[in-house]
Amino acid sequence: MTDPISDMEAKDKKGWSTGTKVLLGVVVAIVLIAIIAVFTLTIAVLEVDAGTQYPYVTTYRVSLPDGDPVTIGKTRIAVMSYGNEVLTDVDGTKEKLTIGQQRVISPHSARISALGLPILDTDFQITLTYVGTSGKNALFDMTVQTSKQIPDLMLRRLIPASMNAQPV
């Protein structure tokens, strides 16, 4: 005959209860979905309607390598600096800037998605203010204005790593 107390002690030593296992499974599933969502985060840049308001502003100090184009969304930017001036080429339109002058880039719209599902739509406009050079890079204060507030993590996905964007 078996001892009922020994059987209960054996069950207690076998592991977690069913409720604990279910809770742990739910937590693991949520964490996995969150990780997958971060890795599938995409930003599609589209054209924007005129007359949009941009109440949210974020400013970065960025460096653009002399002669090497960078792309922000669909906008291709190339710069060539000399002395206290820089020649900017934004989507084929050239403009010379001196220190302190601004270049406003045409507004666009961004659709942010994760797991293939849209999360947020926002319109944005970028303004570059020339601040000088550092080695072979032209330095700018880049102001990003958006129609809706978006987390910095998502905004940084729009800015190429080669620009070395630092919040100001």
Query: What is the chain's pLDDT, residue by residue, as a tens digit (168 residues)?
Result: 555 555 545 555 567 888 889 999 999 999 998 888 778 777 777 677 667 789 999 999 999 999 899 998 888 999 999 888 999 999 999 999 999 999 999 888 888 788 888 888 888 899 999 999 988 899 999 999 999 998 887 788 788 888 999 998
Among candidate residues 82, 60, 84, 55, the one with its CA nearest the CA of residue 72? 60
Beta-sheet strand order (sheet of 56-65) = 42-46, 102-114, 117-134, 137-146, 56-65, 166-167
pTM of the model: 0.71
| CA geometry: angle 84, 89, 91, nearest 5 deg | 160
Q: Where are the domains of the chain?
A: 4-39, 43-167
